[in-house]
Amino acid sequence: MRNVTWIIPFVLLSCAVKQPINEDQPHSSDASPSLWVSLQAKNLSEDMSVLSTRNDETVLLIYAVTSQDTTLILNQQHTYTQRNELAHHVIRDTSKYRSPWLVVLIELDSDRDSSEIEPIVTKNLKSLSSLLMNEEYNALSKLLGIDDLLGTQRVDSTRNSLIIKGIHRADLYEYELKRFMR
């Protein structure tokens, strides 16, 4: 009887059913829900030119917008090397899920990183959208240098995805951002 009791847990474990995994969404080992953001490169800005590096090094900045203030809730840098590549990021403060967001996407062409770009963007947050919309590229380059502002979009709490796309310096680009609780 003693030999049988230690076998029972192994038998039960071997009969466990594995749940299917959705590869499009990240997996969290944490039991509490987290707010996840995914950014997918549908079309890289650096894949059109013969001289290009064939990758996009991006900085994704997300701000929660309230009537009182605008708070940075995500600052992530990622290098995309192929179309349809997906990057997942977590925002631990789930209370920001219901806030409107301001999403800023920058392609890095300089040697700077996200920690150097973020203060510049935060300081000039109100003017960046209008400069891009009015195609004031000289003013943008005075602020960002050779780094490219690919887009800024405000997202209300009812939308869970957005597309940032365009043409910049003869390069097409398209990114899809999704947000979800997990």
List the pLDDT tens digit at each of the 182 positions of the chain.
555 454 444 443 344 333 333 444 444 455 566 788 888 888 875 545 555 556 788 899 999 998 888 899 999 998 888 777 778 888 877 777 778 899 999 988 888 999 999 999 999 998 988 898 888 889 999 999 888 898 899 988 888 899 999 877 667 788 999 988 77
Count, residues in the chain: 182
Domains of the chain: 32-181 (2.60.40)
Q: Which residues are within 8 A (CB) of 159 and not within 5 positions of it... i.e. 6 or more apart?
A: none
Instruction: Find out whether 82 and 164 touch, Cβ atoms under 8 Å.
Output: no
